[in-house]
Amino acid sequence: MVSEGAALTREAVLAALEAVKDPEIPTVSVVDLGLIYEVRVKGDEVEVDFAPTFVGCPALHVMEQEIVACIRALGARSVRVQRVYRPPWTADRMSARARQALRELGIAPPRPVPAEITLTAFEKLPCPFCGSTDTRMENLFGPTSCRALFYCNTCQQPFEAFKPL
């Protein structure tokens, strides 16, 4: 069954998935985070290739459940969300809109991710509040797997940063 007026297409599914957010980053959709690798529609069956940021992220189940519910609401009879590890998700997949939304939440978005992540990736990271690069990394680990803790020496605000991955 397809809901009236809307054909079940790849584009319709992608548009609907804009409503599914990361529960830890409630203004950014799974599409803007770059977590949706592919959507395949065949009749009323849909498969979604979904890439985790960090494998141990406890929000993965929540997002997967919401993806299924969201696509079923479009009229799909069967929805399968498949976790994909190749190519690994990297922060370079985030959209410009996602980066801006992160800044507004006080989370510095990552710079382009180098092939080998080293501590230099954490030097002079712009503060999401004042833009100063006079900042220091306080802890590689933070409130979620994907965030690290920083301090801005200019505006004297602690802030979080999305880890390069």
Partner 1 sequence: MASPFPKPNETVALPDPLREAVGQLLLAMADDEVLLGHRDSEWVGHAPILEADIAMASIAQDEIGHAVLWYSLLQELGWPDPDRMAYFRDPPEFRNATLVELPKGDWAFTIIRQFLFDFAEKVRLEALMASAWTPLAAAAAKVRREETYHLMHSRAWVLRLGDATEESHRRMQAALEQAWPHALGLFEPTPGEILRVEAGIQPPEAELRARWEAEVRPILEAASLRIPEAEPVYGGRLGRHTEHLAALLADFQGVARSGLGETW
Q: How far is CA 162 from its chain centroid?
A: 10
CB of 5 to partner 1, least distance (A): 25
CB of 15 to partner 1, least distance (A): 21
Whichever of 82 and 156 has its CB closer to partner 1, that residue is 82
Q: For residues 83 and 52, give the distance between their C-alpha atoms in angstroms, rounded to a whole number.
A: 7
| Residue 114 binds to partner 1 (criterion: CB under 8 A) | no
| Residue 141 binds to partner 1 (criterion: CB under 8 A) | yes
Q: For residues 164 and 154, give the distance between their C-alpha atoms in angstroms, rounded to a whole number.
A: 23
| Residue 123 binds to partner 1 (criterion: CB under 8 A) | no
| Residue 93 binds to partner 1 (criterion: CB under 8 A) | no
| Residue 62 binds to partner 1 (criterion: CB under 8 A) | no
Whichever of 48 and 101 has its CB closer to partner 1, that residue is 48
Sequence length of the chain is 165
- Helix pair 10-17, 60-72: axis angle to 10 deg: 130
What six digits make up the tokens of 37? 């690798």
> Which of 12, 153, 148, 141 lies closest to 74, judged by CA?
12
| Residue 65 binds to partner 1 (criterion: CB under 8 A) | no
Q: Are 25 and 102 in contact (CB under 8 A)?
A: yes
Q: Which residues here bind partner 1, judged by CB under 8 A?
A: 37-38, 40, 42, 45, 47, 49, 52, 54-58, 80, 82, 84-86, 88-90, 117, 119, 138-143, 145, 149, 163, 165
